[in-house]
Amino acid sequence: MSVTVETLEKLERKITLTLPADVIQNEVASRLKRLARTVKMDGFRPGKVPMNVVAQRYGYSVHYEVMNDKVGEAFASAANEAQLRVAGQPRITEKEGAPEGQLAFDAVFEVYPEVKIGDLAGAAVEKLTAEVDAAAIDRTLDILRKQRRTFAQRAQADAAVDGDRVTIDFEGKIDGEPFEGGKAAGFQFIVGDGQMLKEFEDAVRGMKTGESKTFPLAFPADYHGKDVAGKTADFLVTVNKVEAANLPEVNDELARSLGIAEGTVDALRADIRKNLERETKFRLQARNKTAVMDALIAASELDLPKSVVQAELDRMVEGARADLKQRGIKDADKAPIPEELFRPQAERRVRLGLIVAELVRANELFAKPEQIEAHINELAASYERPADVVRWYQSDNRRMAEVEAIVVENNVTEFVLAKAKVTDKAVAFDELMQQS
């Protein structure tokens, strides 16, 4: 059978499908007969319902199913014969004026585009590098020490300073009226840790046990509590207790408490370095991968299938709804979420997906089993029981597919970096850690 494909616009195509009417009728009759053997209706024994009754009750739905199946099969066959890579679902409508004994349908659909990737030798990519230095290890040690700090009550005459734990009672009012969440008794926080708003910490810093103070506090306009955001409250604070922090010394005892088998400070620092280097590697990969993807987009030409972009938009909107629901937002399923908010991101995802797929196909950059295994082992290495984490990944096909996708992207990144004009840029460890 010769298939005529009509080009409508860019990636949009149309095929006319024809089906013998008797094929539809025969299949409908066959399915109704099978249904009659098992269908149950009041007043009839199973399998004894007259065919005319079965046809009257189920004829329309069976006919609809058969039409969908047969038209779908005809479309798949025609697209395959024409060697078309169909993107998304076709829109199929019945045509009038079909020949006697025939049914005709127009199938309008999109095809995947031709992806033209330019000469990557001309692509410019800035590649970030970073080193784990002794200062980074020292800062991590300080964090670990703070996690294990103890507190001892200060003398009543001692003022609270940064690092102290204070126990307070407080009550806030706006225009003389209390507000939800504005009152607490026996509340504790660490001065200078950023747990409270800066104005609140500034007011408590320097206070002594038994002292009270009233002060104004202006809530930021973007404060998470919408009822008080952008408003000014008057707070009354009473300090019940001030406790000084005692940090454990950096010694072999600390190393042992942190699970270091060798039980030495040198081994502890080596373990911290290994973990920081692993985190640094992952962050550099993510940043450099983004730079490579930007370069690929700049070097490539392709049209985007509207149906694929729409499918990605639908997924992103549903994801946003699920997030709202998880946060406990009332009527999240009905919340108006304009899909246009996600369009730039959806188009980028689709564009990159098509470019990467073409690059992988053309250069055989598929993920090898040993690469997938190595990546999982690397991810698991930072956990206390790596073997359990490895089994967790391997027990779920979806998780394994996610790892495979990451490995493929890493392969693409390395491939492009090997061909492009790469400029190395060293960034400070702290700067890298602060960036998302």
Tokens 């005319």 belong to residue: 52
In DSSP terms, which residues pair with 165 in a beta bridge?
A: 190, 243
Side chain identity at residue 312, one-letter code: E
| CATH number of the domain where residue 198 is located | 3.10.50.40
- Rounded CA separation 159/28 (Å): 88
- Residue of 128, 95, 57 lying closest to 283 (CA atoms): 128
37 & 105 share domain = yes
| CATH number of the domain where residue 413 is located | 1.10.3120
260 assigned to some structural domain: yes
- Report the number of distinct structural domains present in the chain: 3
Choose the final residue of a domain: 226, 246, 266: 246
The pLDDT, as a whole number, for residue 37 is: 85
What domain range is 166 assigned to? 150-246
401 & 283 share domain = yes
414 & 265 share domain = yes
Residue 208 is given by DSSP the state B
- Rounded CA separation 4/107 (Å): 12
259 & 399 share domain = yes
The structure's pTM equals: 0.75
169 & 199 share domain = yes
Tens-place pLDDT, residues 383-410 = 889 999 999 999 999 999 999 999 999 9
| Per-residue pLDDT tens listing for the chain (436 residues) | 467 899 998 999 999 998 898 988 998 899 888 888 888 888 788 778 888 888 888 889 989 999 999 999 999 999 999 999 999 999 999 888 888 888 889 999 999 999 999 999 999 999 999 999 999 999 999 999 999 999 999 999 999 999 999 999 999 999 999 999 899 999 999 999 999 999 999 999 999 999 999 999 999 998 988 889 999 999 999 999 999 999 999 999 999 999 898 999 999 999 999 999 999 999 999 999 999 999 999 999 999 999 999 999 999 999 998 888 888 877 778 788 889 999 999 999 999 999 999 999 999 999 999 999 999 999 998 888 999 999 999 999 999 999 999 999 999 999 999 999 999 999 999 899 886 5
Side chain identity at residue 127, one-letter code: K
> Which two three-digit tokens encode residue 327?
């946060």
Mean confidence (pLDDT) of the chain:
92
- Rounded CA separation 57/43 (Å): 14
Q: Determine whether 411 is exposed, middle or buried from the number of CB atoms within 10 Å of its CB (0-12, 13-18, 19+).
A: buried
The strands making up 86-95's β-sheet, listed across from edge to edge, are 5-9, 12-20, 102-111, 86-95
Phi/psi at 342 (5° precision): -100, -5
Choose the final residue of a domain: 194, 229, 246: 246
87 & 221 share domain = no
409 & 369 share domain = yes
- For β-strands 124-129 and 421-426, DSSP reports them as parallel
302 & 419 share domain = yes
In DSSP terms, which residues pair with 91 in a beta bridge?
A: 108
- Can you spell out the DSSP letters for 287-347? HHHHHHHHHHHHHEE-PPPHHHHHHHHHHHHHHHHHHHHHTT-TTGGG----GGGTHHHHH
367 & 281 share domain = yes
Tens-place pLDDT, residues 285-297 = 999 999 999 999 9
224 & 274 share domain = no
291 assigned to some structural domain: yes
